[in-house]
Amino acid sequence: MLNKKAYVLIQTETGKAEAVAKTLRGKPGILSADVVTGPHDVILIIQGVDTDAIAKIVVNQVQAVQGVHRTITYMALSGD
């Protein structure tokens, strides 16, 4: 059961936000990838069985995408 949820804020290289979001959409554990305005370029909602699973998604899937400059992960306090 996927009961841990996190929000990942991504800063991308200039002009890469849409490509990063498109690459991440539909990958396992990634519920949504939206291009946004403000100090971050893309916000993800990700879900996993525990915090280790969340960390693996961020490191292995998100940070590995070309164009990702920096990530900040916020763990949700509830699994809803």
The fraction of the chain above a pLDDT of 70, given in percent, is 95
Q: Using one digit for the tens of pLDDT, what is the confidence trace for 16-49?
A: 999 999 999 999 999 999 999 999 999 999 999 9
Q: Note the pTM of the prediction, 2 decimals.
A: 0.92
pLDDT bracket for residue 3 (50, 70, 90): confident
Concatenating the DSSP letter of every residue in 9-50 gives EEEESTT-HHHHHHHHTTSTTEEEEEE-SSS-SEEEEEEESS
CATH for 4-71 is 3.30.70.920
**Domain boundaries, given as residue ranges, for the chain:** 4-71
* 8 has a pLDDT exceeding 80: yes
Indicate the SS3 state at residue 55. helix
